[in-house]
Amino acid sequence: MTKKIGILTAGGDCPGLNAAIRGVAKTAIIEYGMEVLGFHDGYKGLIDNDYTALTESSVSGILTQGGTILGTSREKPFKKSEDRNGELKTDKIVENYNNLELDCLVCIGGNGTIKTAHKLSKLGLNVIAIPKTIDNDVWGTDLTFGFDSAVSICTDAIDRLHTTGNSHKRIMIIEVMGHNAGWIALYAGLAGGGDVILIPEIECDIDTVANYLHKRHTQGKPVSIVVVAEGVYEQKNNSFNAHQLAQKIEEITGIETRSTVLGYIQRGGTPTATDRILATCYGRYAAQLISKEKYNQLVVFKNNCVSHIPLKESAGKLKTVKPDEMIVTAARALGVCFGDGE
């Protein structure tokens, strides 16, 4: 019998979502003859039974588009479990899934989406999850799509800050995304020639950073670039943002310091070629798993190959930067300061 599957995109948007939708839908339709439904606005669409049929033509031409044609939301049916009528959202999800006679649900998202997908699998739904997030912090995969695009955007911004910093002989601070994982700051900082990289995984001290920057200044290097992840905490457990860091550094060093916060620019625009290819391969592999009825899996990229692991292995876990990560040691060898005095 022809399989019927659903697709949704949940959590924060990022470049490559449409490529993943296209990869799943086209493979499912062309190679396996499946019927494909797209749920609007993440898990909210599944709760409200709000969907549209996806065809080969409806997913054509979306490969290069940013955002998601299905829309997204941060709806968490297990966290806020009742709707306004007092009904359990999870009951409605199971009911709609069964009424539509779905064989599988493809959930495209980050850590929260994957955790919810795993919980739904324990309620009897067949689920396949595809990891997306600009933060690259999904446990079990080497790479999430959206990350390469975000790093490219951040690197371009750092390149531009170099020129204005050189013109005014300033310290330039750029804040990038990353609450709990510093992958974007680490990669963009190294690619953009950052002199200081501050990430959540390595506790930093502002005095150490300021002394490093002052030393550079006395050595005839008046221009410095500081790349900081938004989730960075000082050793004294005082959280700070780029603006506060700039004020403190200028106060200590006496060097004019300016800050820039990239914010949601990192999520927007068209995906890079790398993210388009990765998302497409993820989508195709998800459809393959469904054709083999190998459910409740997370599609991953390991050892330069697309593969899969049981969903339960990743749900609730976070992939963070290790202090001895190759990129960290490479940056330290170049003299980059991480604010920890090493």
Has 156 been annotated as catalytic? Answer: no
Task: From the candidates 135, 148, 195, 275, give the one annotated as an active-site residue.
Answer: 135
The beta strand positions in the chain, using DSSP E, are: 4-9, 35-39, 51-54, 104-109, 127-131, 171-176, 196-198, 224-229, 257-261, 297-302, 305-310
Token digits of residue 194: 């950052």
Q: What does each C-alpha distance from 190 to 19, 161, 226, 304, 331 come to in angstroms?
A: 28, 14, 11, 22, 6
Q: What is the longest distance spanned by two Cα atoms in the chain?
A: 74
Closest CA to 265 of 9, 15, 10, 72: 15
Cα 335 to Cα 21, 94, 338, 339: the distances in Å are: 42, 55, 10, 12
CB of 10 closer than 8 Å to CB of 109? yes
108 close to 132: Cβ distance less than 8 angstroms: yes
The β-bridge partners of 277 are none
Catalytic residues: 135
